[in-house]
Amino acid sequence: MSSSVLPEYLCTPHHYINGEAVTGTGEIQVLDPATAQVLTTTPRGTAADIDTAVAAAHTSFTSGVWSKLSGRERSRVLYRISELMRQRTSELAEVESYDVGKPISLANAVDVNNAADTYEYAASLAQHLDGAVRSTPLPAHAFTQREPLGVVAAITPFNFPLILSSSKIAVALAAGNSIVHKPAEDTPLSALYMARLLQEAGVPDGVYNVVTGYGSELGDHLSTHPNVNKVAFTGSSKIGAHVAGKAGQALRPITAELGGNAPNIIFDDADLAQAIQTTISAFVFNTGQFCMGGPRLLVQRGVYEQVLEALAAGVPHVPFGDPRKPETVIGPLATQAQHDKVVAAVDEAKAAGARVLTGGESADINGGFFYHPTVLADVENSADCVQEEIFGPVLTVQPFDTEQEAIALANSTDYGLAAGIQTENMSRAHRVADALEAGIVWVNSWALLDPSMPFGGVKSSGWGRENGPEQLHEYTRTKSVIIALKPAEQDQA
Ligand code: NAD
């Protein structure tokens, strides 16, 4: 694959610091996952690059060039960002599709749209950075105001680079912060694209900076940097725990959006045709590399065999292959490492006695990182393929008898990011939604997401929330101002 599919400036390796493309040292190859060919390279960032980027962000913050604008002024720029993204949808979707191996239709319809919606929503939040007047017994006018935190270190994963960067950057900007962004080493291209777009929309130089490189080499330095005031991390629970430890020692607040392994429960009163369609899209969405995907299916015993038959018949017909074909739903895994992780997890499950209903092996397509969508039945709840996040197009299926058993199985992993319930009984839907340990619960649907609805984890799936007005609190702090008032007899005026 030639790199001509990418905008010219993305073919030139660089960081993006203080409004400029900055040449770095070292080199990381960015591969097209559909062919394993090199698309381009980016610099292998160093601690010195992080220092330069943090200095630029800090200077921009203290200068007030963005932080001291009114919320309405920042709002106008955020709206402009969303407009420019919509105007450039096809180019941005192509960058994301080549970088991550995403089916182009998904990148167009979901990634760019959702990210543009996020900027649009953040534009409205920027106009609601309100404090409150408190009625106190003090002889004083007492009120609170919200202030930006300063420099935000954003560290993002490989699977939804544009969406998960936008969900941090848009609100961080709305609140008036400056940012240093370290995108995933494998999928950094949309961050570099967006750096130009943000500048064009009117984000001042130094407010948004991108340093490319390995998290293992840059992460500690970035998340404990003296001039970083907050860490916004999305990634695996293992790395998240490490970053949270470092940030905690440095007394930096952190939001941590971490791994998921969501249960999807089909009760025997569900609309089965819809439930099966939902189940398939929940586990193949983004080729299974979706923290809120539904890789753990729990089926009530009365409809268990019927559901297995429908999955075995339906899954092989989901369009699979070249992500550039508009009809493709399942593309390659994003990296060789992710592909190999899926191979190892399924092989181990097979060795432990799992029944492969469909899939269970790699697909030889153009040398890319393809793995057939796979359904595994007869798995033990204690098996690694059930308890651990696989992060590929793999579904495990387990039967249950009662509502209580379904809840117990659903809550039996360390994760708690998302969950789904398929039932026509709305009393049951409420009861079970209440009992599930998850940050977001879908009933008779999956992945209905909107920037106004918060998401985030419980248990090992993380801390804090992204999206919704709740997120403003993650990127601002409250200051109380108490102005003493003199009684009339002491007031000279
Ligand atoms: P990862 O944890 O390997 O990497 C995430 C980011 O952390 C990358 O930018 C990486 O370079 C960086 N990093 C690596 N080591 C670091 C260190 N020592 N210090 C600081 N940063 C470091 O995750 P991944 O493989 O890129 O993404 C997949 C994981 O992310 C899955 O577990 C998935 O569930 C999770 N995820 C969670 C959400 C959510 O919203 N909860 C969303 C998407 C992905």
Q: Whose CA is nearest to atom 16 of ligand 1?
A: 215
Q: In the structure encoding, which two tokens stand for residue 474, read together?
A: 């993650």
Query: 260: which residues sit within 8 A by CB, 6+ positions away?
Result: 291, 292, 293, 389, 415, 417, 418, 457, 461
Secondary structure element (H or E) that encloses residue 155, with its range:
strand 151-155
Q: Whose CA is nearest to atom 42 of ligand 1?
A: 291
CA angle centred on 162, ends 49 and 250, rounded to 5°: 45
Q: In the structure encoding, which two tokens stand for residue 3, read together?
A: 């790199």
Ligand 1: centre distance to CA 429 (Å): 32
Residues in the ligand 1 pocket, defined by CB under 6 Å: 155-160, 164, 182, 184-185, 214-216, 219-220, 223, 234-236, 239, 242-243, 257-260, 291, 389, 391, 417, 457, 462
List active site positions. 257
Backbone torsions φ then ψ of 368, nearest 5 degrees: -85, 180
Q: Whose CA is nearest to atom 13 of ligand 1?
A: 215
Q: How far is it, in rounded angstroms, from Cα 353 to Cα 369?
A: 26
pLDDT of amino acid 443 = 98
Q: How far is it, in rounded angstroms, from Cα 171 to Cα 476?
A: 10
Q: Whose CA is nearest to atom 32 of ligand 1?
A: 236
Q: Whose CA is nearest to atom 23 of ligand 1?
A: 235
Cα distances (Å, whole numbers) of residue 416 to 207, 261, 408, 420, 441: 34, 7, 13, 12, 10
340: left (phi over 0), alpha (psi -120 to 50) or beta: alpha
Ligand 1: centre distance to CA 236 (Å): 4
Ligand 1, residues 159, 181, 223, 463: which to mutate, most atoms within 8 A of Cβ? 159
pLDDT of amino acid 6 = 80
Question: Considering the domain 263-443, what is its CATH architecture?
Answer: 3-Layer(aba) Sandwich (3.40)
Compute how many other C-beta atoms are within 10 angstroms of the C-beta atom of residue 136. 10
pLDDT of amino acid 4 = 54
pTM equals 0.97
Where along the chain do its domains lie?
3-258+457-479, 263-443
Residue ranges of the alpha helices (H) in 328-462?
A: 336-351, 384-387, 403-410, 426-435
Torsion angle of C-alpha atoms 177, 180, 119, 419, degrees rounded to 10:
-110
Q: In the structure encoding, which two tokens stand for residue 37, read together?
A: 């060919």
Q: What is the pLDDT along the chain (493 residues), one digit of tens a residue?
A: 344 578 887 887 799 999 999 999 999 999 999 999 999 999 999 999 999 999 999 999 999 999 999 999 999 999 999 999 999 999 999 999 999 999 999 999 999 999 999 999 999 999 999 999 999 999 999 999 999 999 999 999 999 999 999 999 999 999 999 999 999 999 999 999 999 999 999 999 999 999 999 999 999 999 999 999 999 999 999 999 999 999 999 999 999 999 999 999 999 999 999 999 999 999 999 999 999 999 999 999 999 999 999 999 999 999 999 999 999 999 999 999 999 999 999 999 999 999 999 999 999 999 999 999 999 999 999 999 999 999 999 999 999 999 999 999 999 999 999 999 999 999 999 999 999 999 999 999 999 999 999 999 999 999 999 999 999 999 999 999 999 999 888 887 6
CATH number, span 3-258+457-479:
3.40.605.10
Half-sphere exposure (CA, 13 Å, Cβ side) for 380?
A: 9
Q: How far is it, in rounded angstroms, from Cα 272 to Cα 93?
A: 34
Ligand 1 atom with the smallest distance to the CA of 222 is 20
Ligand 1: centre distance to CA 233 (Å): 8
Q: How far is it, in rounded angstroms, from Cα 231 to Cα 282?
A: 30
pLDDT of amino acid 69 = 98
- Do domains 3-258+457-479 and 263-443 share one topology? The answer is no
Ligand 1, residues 163, 261, 291: which to mutate, most atoms within 8 A of Cβ? 291
Q: In the structure encoding, which two tokens stand for residue 24, read together?
A: 């770095």
Ligand 1: centre distance to CA 437 (Å): 22
pLDDT of amino acid 389 = 97
pLDDT of amino acid 491 = 81
